[in-house]
Amino acid sequence: MVTGYFVLTVIAGAPDSPMATPLPSGAQSPRWSTFLAERVGFSHLGRPVLTAISLLLMAGLLGAFTVLLLEARSNRVRLSAVLIAGAISLGLVAIAPVLLSRDVFSYAAYGRIYAIHHHNPYVAVPAMFSGDPFVSLTAGQWLHVHSLYGPLFTLFSASIVRTWPRSPDATILAFKLTAAVAIGAAAAFTSIAAVRVRPDRAALAAAIVALNPVVVVHTVGGAHVDALIAAPLAGALALVAAGRDVVRSSTLRACAVTALLALACLIKVVVTPALVLWLWWIVRDDPWRMRIRTLAVHLSIVVGLTAVLLLPFLAGSHTFVSLATLGGVESWASPSRLVARGVGSVARSLAGAGSGSVASKVVTGAFLVAFATLFWRLAARRTAAARAMADGWGTSLLLLSLALPYLLPWYSAWFVPFLGLMADELTMGVGVAVTGLLALTIIPADPPHGLSAWGVMLALFAVLAFRIARRADESAALLRPPA
């Protein structure tokens, strides 16, 4: 797998590579990558040939990854080997060209709006600064959109561009190294949690994070913000696994879990279901008076962190309107978008364009209602603390990614830290299958093409929904008093 990742980074150094994106003015591909691409002959192959090689390599990596998971599941792989191979792989893609997505340019653009141009990225849009080198290469769908990212990430991206205001190369490298470190931390936290509650799953849990092709190539290779979400989520899981009493207390450890989940939401609000599930689980078994007191303690942490980090950007409703979009403006393999397009097409053919748009929105809403219903059934489960957190957080975020009207490969970082510790192996299998399908998408990168797997994702959503409903019914039957 390490060799496969290395070859992909060398392909990215070739001219017109299907693995790499164009770069802003003043930036250039890492010299080692372009040098090796020239020496081994990749620079002399056409884009179609390189695309075929890249897809075959990614398919080979997925095959190797599958074998690795099977071996780890049978305890024939050491945790140390997984972590070392993961560190090498993450380091390779961190110093490689930007892979498969331009999103890192929009991160830099929003950071520069605040740090360099002295405007509020929740009010101003990148198109207002067309002369900025990062804005010139920001994907078109983002040019007229206010920042959809949380204030913590906006402040972080502003600190990067403020540190290297005249060096696009250094800015890009800083984002990529941060993504690699965040995923490395997530793998470490996940393995710590596994060692404490399921030692037989430690290597498996770490491999799903640190050597997963969609995480290594798409999430870290593209320097995506979602990598930064994985670290606090996995850290929260490690804290929960550290003791048996954390779920039913206002101890320092429980408050630290709340803080980590709140910080994850302040990077990207879409992971809020994990925080909601946690707050519900720590109060649901307490008497009402104790419940109110415990909830007040934890909500004060959430509100306090939110207030402090949002303060520099407060501008009335403008600050919150963009955040309410849940952080996405495009789709790729979304099951809800597939059904919405089909229903919308039928409605347009029968009753005109207006009815087609309404029908599409109704379908999107129906998927979100289905998520809310299944999420409530997840919240009603009563199981042991650490495994409940892995199942609850992982299943809810996996379900959310499949229910939203947009789905992109790097969203896998929301739920991969939990897959290896899940008690339900079918749900874990669905999650791994989703990551595998997403790994094959958006190749070549610019413009994005490749496998989208709409229908398969819809089938996986149906399997997951049925599994959640059935397990909830089984739990209810166990809790029902005998006749």
The pair of three-digit structure tokens given for residue 203, joined into one six-digit string: 């290597």
Q: Give the chain's domain count.
A: 1
Question: Residues near 128 by Cβ (< 8 Å), separated by ≥ 6?
Answer: 119
Q: What is the 3-state secondary structure (H, E, C) of the chain?
A: CHHHHHHHHHHCCCCCCCCECCCCCCCCCCHHHHHHHHHHCHHHCCHHHHHHHHHHHHHHHHHHHHHHHHHHHCCCCCHHHHHHHHHHHHHHHHCCCCECCCHHHHHHHHHHHHHCCCCCCCCCCHHHHCCCCCHHHCCHHHCCCCCCCCHHHHHHHHHHHHHCCCCHHHHHHHHHHHHHHHHHHHHHHHHHHHHHHCHHHHHHHHHHHHCCHHHHHHHHCCCCCHHHHHHHHHHHHHHHHCCCCHHHCCCHHHHHHHHHHHHHHCCCHHHHHHHHHHHHHHHCCCCHHHHHHHHHHHHHHHHHHHHHHHHHHCECEHHHHCHHHCCCCCCCCCHHHHHHHHHHHHHHHHHCHHHHHHHHHHHHHHHHHHHHHHHHHHHCCCCCHHHHHHHHHHHHHHHHHHHCCCCCHHHHHHCHHHHCCCCCHHHHHHHHHHHHHHHCCCCCCCCCCCCCCHHHHHHHHHHHHHHHHHHHHHHHHHHCCCC
Residue 236 is assigned to a structural domain of this protein: yes
Domain region containing 341: 2-102+171-476
Residue 122 is assigned to a structural domain of this protein: no
Residue 70 is assigned to a structural domain of this protein: yes
Question: Residues near 61 by Cβ (< 8 Å), separated by ≥ 6?
Answer: 1, 4, 5, 8, 213, 217, 439
Residue 374 is assigned to a structural domain of this protein: yes
The pair of three-digit structure tokens given for residue 103, joined into one six-digit string: 């999103």
In which residue are the tokens 């207030």 written?
307
- Which of 451, 452, 413, 457 minimizes the C-alpha distance to 433? 457
Residue 163 is assigned to a structural domain of this protein: no
Residue 238 is assigned to a structural domain of this protein: yes
Residue 369 is assigned to a structural domain of this protein: yes
Q: Which neighbouring-strand residues pair with 20?
A: 99
- Cα torsion at 294, 299, 301, 306 (round to 10°)? 180
- Cα torsion at 254, 260, 265, 270 (round to 10°)? -80
Q: What is the pLDDT of residue 448?
A: 67
User: Phi, psi at residue 443, to the nearest 5°?
Assistant: -125, 115
In which residue are the tokens 């999430």 written?
219
Residue 483 is assigned to a structural domain of this protein: no
pLDDT in tens, the chain (483 residues): 999 999 999 999 998 899 998 888 888 889 999 999 999 999 888 889 999 999 999 999 999 999 999 999 999 999 999 999 999 999 999 999 999 888 999 999 999 999 999 999 988 888 899 888 888 888 777 788 888 899 999 999 999 999 998 899 999 999 999 999 999 999 999 999 999 888 999 999 999 999 999 999 999 999 999 999 999 999 999 998 876 655 555 578 889 999 999 999 999 999 999 999 998 888 877 777 788 888 888 999 999 999 999 888 887 666 666 555 554 555 566 777 778 778 877 877 777 767 777 887 888 888 888 888 888 888 876 554 666 788 889 999 999 999 888 888 999 999 999 999 998 889 999 999 999 999 988 888 876 666 667 678 888 888 988 888 877 554 444 334 444
